[in-house]
Amino acid sequence: MMEENLFEICGVKVERGTISRLRLKISEYFTSFPAYIPIIVIRGITDGLRLFVTGAIHGNELNGIEIVRRITTKVNPKKLSGTLICVPIVNIFGFYNSSRLLPDRRDLNNHFPGSVDGSSASRIAYTLFNEVILKCHYGVDIHTQYNLESNVPYIVGNLKNMETKRIAEAFGTPVIIDSNGEKDSLLRESEECGITTILYKGGQRRRFDKKMIEIGYNGIINVLNELDMLKIKRKRNVKSKPLIVHKQTSVYTNRGGILNLLVKSGDIIKKGRKIAVVVNPFGREIEKIYSPVTAMIIGLSVNPLVNPGGIVCQLAKISKQNK
């Protein structure tokens, strides 16, 4: 096979029609032993687009690991055009410790595209970005909720980019949030480098959510179909058009106490509706909480014990064109 027919990653040349399971050194432990992350490369029999899928950038967000496992065990390279690069566990340090963060308490998703001589987080981000992300044309970054529960999976992407809008809609979630992501996040920095990227969020940290995993797996299959990388029957996730959201907001408590929620994830609520009350240990109601906007609830607090400023819910604002 001629040199131009080979794709190289992690110092390994991957031939067409094969699956390669590789290790990428991203750092070292204080024992001086190398720290590796797993990478699975599925290369199709014909050249084409390259798509990355990343999971567990936050080490306690586990759904992405199972979504990647399903993808890599069910996608046949003989039926694939182009290359699929999957990284099931990006933050291996956080994964070992069941922690969102790196050992230095930094959030890896705030340090892209990284630096070769920066902080530990910045060096890890640099290695991933240069060894994996910049080799791709498209990407899907998988997350779960941080401190909320949610039965409403959604996609985040810069819908001003029509190519991003195309794959966001193809993925198939009930809600799509129009956002280019936070500064220095993988989502934003990938897009700014010309790599069309979306973020999928569904489920809770530290657990598998079978429904959210199935939607995530189906969504990636749908994106592969949309990009003509894989030609199999599309997976239906939703029956209707997604709710397009241009603004989201969070609601917080003003008092400390015990939070009683009066709504559930997925509810569409009008501005001014009472969504929760806070009571004190004597059972007295000390605060009523109302929705500041007409919105869909896409996340609810998992902890009924709150201090002032405790999160109640996350709202996807419904604009007039969505009503």
Contacts of 291 (CB under 8 A, 6+ apart): 251, 269, 270, 271, 272, 273, 275, 315
Contacts of 116 (CB under 8 A, 6+ apart): 123, 126
pLDDT value at residue 3? 38
pLDDT value at residue 23? 97
pLDDT value at residue 5? 66
Q: pLDDT (tens digit, 0 to 9) for every residue of the chain, 323 residues total?
A: 333 467 899 999 999 999 999 999 999 999 999 999 999 999 999 989 999 999 999 999 999 999 999 999 999 999 999 999 999 999 999 999 999 999 999 999 999 999 999 999 999 999 999 999 999 999 999 999 988 888 899 999 999 999 999 999 999 999 999 999 999 999 999 999 999 999 999 999 999 999 999 999 999 999 999 999 998 877 777 777 899 999 999 999 999 999 999 999 999 999 999 999 999 999 999 999 999 999 999 999 989 999 999 999 999 998 765 65
What domains appear along the chain, each with residue ranges and CATH number? 3-226 (3.40.630.10), 247-322 (2.40.50.100)
Three state DSSP letters for 52-74: EEECCCCCCCCHHHHHHHHHHHH
Instruction: State how far the Cα of 138 lies from the Cα of 249, in Å rounded to an integer.
Output: 28
